[in-house]
A and B are shown apart, each in its own frame.
Chain A
Amino acid sequence: MKSINKNQFLQQIYAQSGELPQELLALLGQEFGAIEHYSLADIQLINKAPKELKFVEIWCVLTEKAVLIFEEINQHWQLTKKLPMQKISKIKELGNLSYYTLIFTTADDCPPLATLRYSGRQKINMDNLKYLIEQKIKYPKKRQERDSVGAKYHENYAHHVLKNYIDAQNNDVGKKAQTLWRLLSYLKAYKAAFIFGAIGAILTTVVSLAPAMLSGYLIDKIIGPFQRGQLEQNAAWKMAWIVVASIGFFGVTKEFFNWIRLNKMSIIGEWVAKDLREELYTHLQRLGLDFYSSKQTGSIISRVSSDTDRIWDFMAFGVVEVGIALVSLTGLSTALIYLDWRLGLIMTIPIPFLLYCIYVHGETMQKLFIKAWRKWADLTNVLADTIPGIQVVKAFGQEQRETSRFNQSNEITTHEFNHIHRQWTKFWPILMLGIHGVLMSTWVFAIPRLLLPASHEGYLSAGTFVSFLLYMTMFSQPIEVIGQMSRMLNRALSSAYRIFEILDTRPSMVDSPNAKTLTTVQGHIEFKNVDFSYDGVRKILKNIDFQVCPGEMIGLVGQSGGGKSTISKLINRFYDVDEGEVLLDGENIKNLERSSLRKNIGMVLQDPYLFHGNILENIRYGNPSAKLSQVVKMAKMANAHEFIMKLPHAYQTIVGERGHTLSGGERQRVSIARALLSDPKILILDEATSAVDTETERKIQNALDNLVQGRTVIAIAHRLSTLRNANRIFVIADGKIVEQGTHHQLLAKKHGEYKKLCSMQEELGQKFTLK
């Protein structure tokens, strides 16, 4: 979406507008204040009984003072409803299978002020609109208290309607030529080898034309004259052997050039795929967490693996095969017309028709393949379901049922693929029959001319005809390649789009040109009036303001979704704040190199991630050159040494994918050892002990007590007991710090939030204690 704006793009893909019409904007005037947001209601009730709906464009505009509803009547926009904010008491959304209804109500005993209907395509915007209106109802006067979209509203509408489309696809669709050109530009680095390969391909084609021509020459100029007594035996022998040797020479030369072509192109294809993989992976490392949260892991992995493999196939064979086929067909047609234009035309005129037949066949096959792939997907889904869940299958004694399910799916899939085989095995013999038909026509037209006296105008020599016959055998392959060109190209372009989509995704955050490298860190953290939202509408943090001194331990507590983890993500600069600043040792973290910032921040998460490899490699992940003695020391501090030594190969035991051979508590202690070894000045503990049993929690807690010494620590916890050593505790609710102080200070507050949380946990503890 670089060359067209989002509004044009929306129009192009959904045939709907992404902006308020100009005529409608003119109706708005100053009376209602500035626009804050808008959305489209694309469904309207036109008849109640029988119920009748239709797709329409009704714009719902939220301004400072009112909600305005505009409809197009007789091709002119009209303000059909204005709902002053003070009149709206509630806004309610109802959903059914195909659309949603938004009802604006005033007093309970009055009919609704307005009702809007809309499809799922408009839902995000309508949800945002609803949320903003609710904010206005909740905080009618305190503007600073409520969330607002402000000047971004016009970007937000189109962005949210396009979101699912863009997430599923990419920005570059519709520019095939550009994408192809961009793909081919990767060959530049291998220009010399590519030229070699291309010359090899052209020469293979040109040289392959020679033997047929020479065969004709042999018959017309040597065998014929010799048989008619016009050429002496010695001369005939000599000439014939020269021609035969030449045919042999051209055969060898052709294969030599073919070898150059295959060798160069397949190797270039591999290099291009390698370059793409490298560029892609390097770029992936630069992208922010927002990118990873919007894409499925499998989809990203397949772009680096199977899509680059498809590109290799296209580069290695597709580019040149198509080129060769075009050169061959042009060369063959030229040679045939040159030899005899009348027979040449008989041979070349049916070519477009044959290509068309192959194209139609390709289209039919594609439909059949879609069907077969669906069945294949069903089959693999059965496997993907049952193999990982085999324990459940066995526990419920469902082996027989699952076997039947698999067999049934297997049988359906086999039928579909056999259908495909029946189709293509029928088509190709028919096509070859067509080619033979052309061949027969050539015979039919050639024989009368072959039997004419040599002096006659229409005479056709036997040699020319033999050349013809030999050329005809070379016809089918290029026709087949050209017929399948579109599918081959589409497959390659599809992969190229997927790869370029990632390469074109700009990291949402980049280091400023003058970004400073952090060398020594004291660990002083300050949040200055920080506002943050993930979607540009709902604020997760509101005016957060606090300071943490070096070496201080801060506990963050509060209900889920309150914004605790967001605070830790902002310290790491996984996201940038919307308003305010996050400072580290007095420096705005936006002015720091992200890599150096993150090297100084250690994280221990609820579900620690271990890489496939051994324990030693995992502990050393943040500090690969650490001495073995240090590794053991840190493992001991993390209470991990003891269990590691019980493993068969101690520190060199392979932990498996994601560390699945270890228990949750063991993985956590390895991750604490890893954090200790990288020795960060700032440490974030995000629910580090929430997923383990009491005994393991005790061990982890002891390890954490070692870990926090001499560091600035931000600890997020639900179990308040884990924050007993915190210097201060912040209670976060609804994006704000609602209380702060030491454990005792907060407990002393009679109706305080912290006290409530503590009481609730105590009650739960008592309720579930075995008596």
Chain B
Amino acid sequence: MKFTKDQQGLLSIAGKQVSIKPCFPWHNKREHLSFVDENGKEIYYLENLTSLDTDSKNVLEEFLQDIEGVISIEKIYSINEEVELRKFVVRTNLGKRIFYTKLDEWPFLNGKKEIIIQDLNADIFQIKRFGDLDQQGQKLLSPLVG
């Protein structure tokens, strides 16, 4: 299968624009990829990139970088409980952000080290390693992940 980047800068398979949807977004995002058209219909399924030619692989790599982009938390300023909600004030790789989770929805571990927090609006925030946070951040987060 040949993957190309069209004039609009979008991923195409045989001239048809497609979007990538990883089957297992929390595991290896470069395997088990579903390619869907604008109606959400799967038109191609790729188990891994090894079977692709170099051009296709390069094109796909570029788009995979896009879908892998996750907002990373670099510093936690505060975590406070409000009625029904937990308010996080953090600094991310994109800048400062305030977000909320429900009180009974907790951060979860992806693999052994990565911590994932999903907020009220289904935005995903990632902490690569608990140990990367400063002492204050670790202290604030530890009741929620330990």
> Which residues of chain B (100-146) have a CB below 8 Å from chain A?
100, 102, 104, 106, 119-126, 142-144, 146
A55-B104 in contact given A92-B10, A98-B123, A498-B83 (Cβ < 8 Å): no
Q: Is A374 an interface residue (CB 8 A)?
A: yes
Q: Is B51 an interface residue (CB 8 A)?
A: no
**What number of B residues sit within 8 Å (CB to CB) of A?**
44
A137 to chain B, nearest CB (A): 14
Q: Are A103 and B10 in contact (CB under 8 A)?
A: yes
A121-B6 in contact given A370-B144, A371-B146 (Cβ < 8 Å): no
A123, A164, A173 — most chain B CB neighbours (10 Å):
A164
Chain A residues within an 8 Å CB radius of B17: 92
A55-B95 in contact given A99-B69, A119-B123, A169-B83 (Cβ < 8 Å): yes
Q: Are A165 and B85 in contact (CB under 8 A)?
A: yes
**Cα of A99 to Cα of B66 in the assembled complex, Å:** 10
A165-B120 in contact given A15-B98, A55-B97, A92-B10 (Cβ < 8 Å): yes
Q: Is A770 an interface residue (CB 8 A)?
A: no
Q: Is A494 an interface residue (CB 8 A)?
A: yes
Q: Are A96 and B123 in contact (CB under 8 A)?
A: no
A367 to chain B, nearest CB (A): 4
**Cα of A51 to Cα of B142 in the assembled complex, Å:** 31
> Which residues of chain A (93-134) have a CB below 8 Å from chain B?
94-99, 101, 103, 105, 108-112, 119-121, 123
Q: Is A149 an interface residue (CB 8 A)?
A: no
Q: Are A121 and B66 in contact (CB under 8 A)?
A: no
A43-B94 in contact given A97-B70, A168-B100, A374-B106 (Cβ < 8 Å): yes
B63's nearest neighbour on chain A, judged by CB, is: A94
**Cα of A119 to Cα of B10 in the assembled complex, Å:** 20
A97-B38 in contact given A15-B98, A53-B94, A112-B8 (Cβ < 8 Å): no
Q: Give 1 or 0 for each of A285-320: 1 = CB within 8 Å of chain B CB.
A: 000000000000000000000000000000000000
A51's nearest neighbour on chain B, judged by CB, is: B65
**Cα of A429 to Cα of B102 in the assembled complex, Å:** 36
Q: Is A54 an interface residue (CB 8 A)?
A: yes
**Cα of A242 to Cα of B94 in the assembled complex, Å:** 79
A40 to chain B, nearest CB (A): 13
A222 to chain B, nearest CB (A): 57
A501's nearest neighbour on chain B, judged by CB, is: B83
Q: Are A112 and B9 in contact (CB under 8 A)?
A: yes
B121 CB contact (under 8 Å) in A164, A493, A494, A497 = A164
Chain A residues within an 8 Å CB radius of B96: 55
A119-B146 in contact given A92-B10, A112-B9, A170-B83 (Cβ < 8 Å): no
Q: Is A747 an interface residue (CB 8 A)?
A: no
Q: Are B83 and A120 in contact (CB under 8 A)?
A: no
B113 to chain A, nearest CB (A): 17
Q: Are A169 and B84 in contact (CB under 8 A)?
A: yes
A119's nearest neighbour on chain B, judged by CB, is: B123
Chain A residues within an 8 Å CB radius of B71: 98-99
Chain A residues within an 8 Å CB radius of B67: 96-97
Chain A residues within an 8 Å CB radius of B100: 13, 165, 168
**Cα of A374 to Cα of B142 in the assembled complex, Å:** 12
**Cα of A62 to Cα of B95 in the assembled complex, Å:** 27
A476 to chain B, nearest CB (A): 28
Q: Are B104 and A377 in contact (CB under 8 A)?
A: yes
A168-B120 in contact given A111-B7, A173-B82 (Cβ < 8 Å): yes
A122's nearest neighbour on chain B, judged by CB, is: B121
Q: Are B83 and A53 in contact (CB under 8 A)?
A: no
Q: Is A488 an interface residue (CB 8 A)?
A: no
A51, A95, A96, A367 — most chain B CB neighbours (10 Å):
A96
Chain B residues within an 8 Å CB radius of A165: 85, 100, 120
> Which residues of chain A (72-90) have a CB below 8 Å from chain B?
none
A367's nearest neighbour on chain B, judged by CB, is: B143
**Cα of A111 to Cα of B5 in the assembled complex, Å:** 11
B19 CB contact (under 8 Å) in A14, A94, A370 = A94
Q: Are A498 and B143 in contact (CB under 8 A)?
A: no
A123's nearest neighbour on chain B, judged by CB, is: B121
A12 to chain B, nearest CB (A): 10
Q: Are A109 and B120 in contact (CB under 8 A)?
A: no
A602 to chain B, nearest CB (A): 38
Chain A residues within an 8 Å CB radius of B47: none
Chain B residues within an 8 Å CB radius of A374: 106, 144
How many A-B residue pairs have C-beta atoms within 8 angstroms? Tell me.
109
> Which residues of chain A (488-511) have a CB below 8 Å from chain B?
493-494, 497-498
Q: Give 1 or 0 for each of A156-176: 1 = CB within 8 Å of chain B CB.
A: 000000001100111001000
Q: Is B53 an interface residue (CB 8 A)?
A: no
B61 to chain A, nearest CB (A): 12
**Cα of A383 to Cα of B130 in the assembled complex, Å:** 30
Q: Is A438 an interface residue (CB 8 A)?
A: no
Q: Give 1 or 0 for each of A4-42: 1 = CB within 8 Å of chain B CB.
A: 000000000111000000000000000000000000000
Q: Is A267 an interface residue (CB 8 A)?
A: no
Q: Are B98 and A14 in contact (CB under 8 A)?
A: yes
B100, B104, B125 — most chain A CB neighbours (10 Å):
B100
Chain B residues within an 8 Å CB radius of A105: 8
A41 to chain B, nearest CB (A): 13
A419's nearest neighbour on chain B, judged by CB, is: B146
**Cα of A108 to Cα of B10 in the assembled complex, Å:** 10
Chain A residues within an 8 Å CB radius of B99: 121
> Which residues of chain B (16-64) have a CB below 8 Å from chain A?
17, 19, 25, 38
Q: Are B143 and A368 in contact (CB under 8 A)?
A: yes
Chain B residues within an 8 Å CB radius of A493: 83
Chain A residues within an 8 Å CB radius of B84: 168-170, 494, 497-498
**Cα of A164 to Cα of B96 in the assembled complex, Å:** 21
Q: Are A371 and B143 in contact (CB under 8 A)?
A: yes
B19's nearest neighbour on chain A, judged by CB, is: A94
B82 to chain A, nearest CB (A): 6
**Cα of A428 to Cα of B99 in the assembled complex, Å:** 37
Q: Are B69 and A53 in contact (CB under 8 A)?
A: yes
B120's nearest neighbour on chain A, judged by CB, is: A164
Chain B residues within an 8 Å CB radius of A13: 98, 100
Q: Are A110 and B120 in contact (CB under 8 A)?
A: no
B5 to chain A, nearest CB (A): 11
Q: Are B124 and A98 in contact (CB under 8 A)?
A: yes
Chain B residues within an 8 Å CB radius of A97: 25, 67-70, 124
B17's nearest neighbour on chain A, judged by CB, is: A92
Q: Are A121 and B123 in contact (CB under 8 A)?
A: yes
Chain B residues within an 8 Å CB radius of A99: 69, 71, 123
Q: Are A55 and B94 in contact (CB under 8 A)?
A: yes
A170's nearest neighbour on chain B, judged by CB, is: B83
B95 CB contact (under 8 Å) in A54, A169, A173 = A54
A562 to chain B, nearest CB (A): 18
**Cα of A170 to Cα of B85 in the assembled complex, Å:** 10
Chain A residues within an 8 Å CB radius of B125: 98
B29's nearest neighbour on chain A, judged by CB, is: A97
B33 to chain A, nearest CB (A): 13
Chain B residues within an 8 Å CB radius of A103: 8-10
Q: Are A51 and B69 in contact (CB under 8 A)?
A: yes
A124's nearest neighbour on chain B, judged by CB, is: B121
B143 CB contact (under 8 Å) in A108, A119, A170, A370 = A370
A371's nearest neighbour on chain B, judged by CB, is: B143
B120 to chain A, nearest CB (A): 4
B8 CB contact (under 8 Å) in A53, A96, A110, A169 = A110
Chain A residues within an 8 Å CB radius of B6: 108
* Nearest 10 A/B pairs, CB to CB: A120-B121, A55-B95, A367-B143, A96-B67, A120-B123, A164-B120, A121-B121, A370-B143, A497-B83, A98-B71
Interface CB pairs A-B, < 8 A, 24: A51-B66, A53-B69, A53-B94, A55-B94, A55-B95, A92-B38, A96-B69, A97-B67, A97-B68, A97-B69, A98-B123, A99-B123, A103-B8, A103-B10, A121-B121, A121-B123, A164-B121, A168-B102, A170-B83, A170-B84, A371-B146, A494-B84, A497-B84, A498-B83
**Which A residues fall within an 8 A CB radius of B?**
13-15, 43, 51, 53-55, 92, 94-99, 101, 103, 105, 108-112, 119-121, 123, 164-165, 168-170, 173, 367-368, 370-371, 374, 377, 493-494, 497-498
